[in-house]
Amino acid sequence: MDHSAAETSPPSSRTPKGWQNQDISPTAQAKIKRVLDACTPGSDIEGLIQAATSSDGLMNDEVRRKAWPILLGYTPPMGTDRIAWQDLPPHKDEHQVRLDVDRSFIYYPRNESEAQLERRKSELSAVITQVLRTYPMLSYFQGFHDIVQVFLLVLGVDDAAAAVSHLSLLRIRDFMLPSLSPSLAHLRLLPSILQVADTKLCKHLSETQPFFALGAVLTLYAHEIQEYGDIARLFDFLLAHGAVVSVYFFAVIILSRREELFEIPADEPEMLHSILSKLPKPLDLEALIAQTMSLYVEFPPERLPFRSWARISPFSVLKTTRGDFRQQSLNNGVDLFEKQASQLRREQWLEQAKATVWKYRRPAGRVGLAIFVGMIAFWLRRSGFESYGAITLRRLWEHLRFIGRR
């Protein structure tokens, strides 16, 4: 199926077309029926995951409106359960939200009037603002609006906020923390995946940092893919699997450009970065998805080299979306966010402590360093980090022993 032609102008969620009346093949109709059957209460979600992964995904937006909430692990709220978010305090990032919303709906939907597009922008702003005000600990990032506009077009303004809340806290939480570090951890898996998939290509790219993938991975490719049918299809696949699959997908895109990349010398990382930061056009989505699943199954993250998986935080979505993650609630997401944010503060403080010790390493001496470590232990207990204190002190002491030998 040509996804780019399938749904260039998303239908309103208020007046969906009946799929039985659409001009589609009997095979497609049979698949749609199987997907809708898999969306009924008590059905096995594996059938839905398989359908979202197989060729053409979930077929159309009417089916997605049934399937996406299930893939995200929640039941859409009834009217009486909706939050009166307008009365909540403003979020610190609302100014940036307004700037980004003004730049939304550039490529799709097509053939809409200025008034219609302005209405969509108003709805997009409302959905994003509702999520941020309801969960004020979340940090907005540029490109988040690209993701949300897809959910808005598929689910409609009344149901998008619940989906985006679950996505934000349980699927892309790493990108909404107050530091970029957890997001970069996703990218640092790329060399390990390339190493097991194509050692020669991995070596060729070894001088090029994987930051070229940031825009695509951060926005679930919504900032890069310009056809509505394509990004909706890709979301079918990404929502069906854990967060790490998005990184494997980018690795497969790199592998698909092997010949092009070898034409550029390895000692020109700027040129390689420039090429890799833009997705090739057109994307053969079905082939890329199939290859992603093959690579993921053959080399799961636990088997990646360089201890790259071991370095991932246990609170990262890369790990918390492994296994039966659809049982997680929004409260679980908030708790994981707080744990991850606490870990980030601890690591940032440790780096600052290392820098301070290095700065004063000569005059401090061994006795001074011992007193300094004691002060750290006292501070950790006062700051509520006692459960991590042993690990933090051991890492700092190893650093002190190292500089003491210099």
With pLDDT > 90 as the criterion, what percentage of the chain qualifies? 75
Average pLDDT of 67-78? 92
**Closest by CA position to 211, among listed 236, 188, 227, 242:** 188
41 vs 83, residue with greater confidence? 41
CB 68 within 8 A of CB 111: no
Write down the pLDDT at residue 37: 93
Instruction: Quote the mean pLDDT of the chain.
Output: 88
Please check the confidence at residue 229 and state whether its pLDDT lies above 90: yes
Q: Counting Cβ atoms within 10 Å, is residue 168 exposed (0-12), middle (13-18) or buried (19+)?
A: buried
SS3 labels along the chain: CCHHHHCCCCCCCCCCCCHHHCCCCHHHHHHHHHHHHHCCCCCCHHHHHHHHHCCCCCCCHHHHHHHHHHHHCCCCCCHHHCCCHHHCCCCCCHHHHHHHHCCCCCCCCCCCCHHHHHHHHHHHHHHHHHHHHHCCCCCCCCCHHHHHHHHHHHHCHHHHHHHHHHHHHHCCHHHHCCCCHHHHHHHCCHHHHHHHHCHHHHHHCCCCCHHHHHHHHHCCCCCCCCCHHHHHHHHHHHHCCCCHHHHHHHHHHHHHCHHHHHCCCCCCHHHHHHHHCCCCCCCCHHHHHHHHHHHHHHCCHHHCCCCCCCCCCCCCHHHHCCCCHHHCCHHHHHHHHHHHHHHHHHHHHHHHHHHHHHHCHHHHHHHHHHHHHHHHHHHHHHCCCHHHHHHHHHHHHHHHHHHHCC
**Closest by CA position to 232, among listed 220, 244, 215:** 220
CB 109 within 8 A of CB 10: yes
Alpha-carbon span 279 to 282, nearest angstrom: 9
Please check the confidence at residue 220 and state whether its pLDDT lies above 80: yes
Local confidence band at 21 (pLDDT 50, 70, 90 cut-offs): very low
Write down the pLDDT at residue 14: 35
Write down the pLDDT at residue 348: 83
**Closest by CA position to 251, among listed 321, 171, 190:** 190
Give residue-wise pLDDT tens across range 279-332.
Answer: 999 999 999 999 999 999 999 999 999 999 999 999 999 999 998 899 999 999
Least confident stretch, 62-66, 127-131, 317-321, 380-384: 380-384
Give residue-wise pLDDT tens across range 126-165.
Answer: 999 999 999 999 999 999 999 999 999 999 999 999 999 9
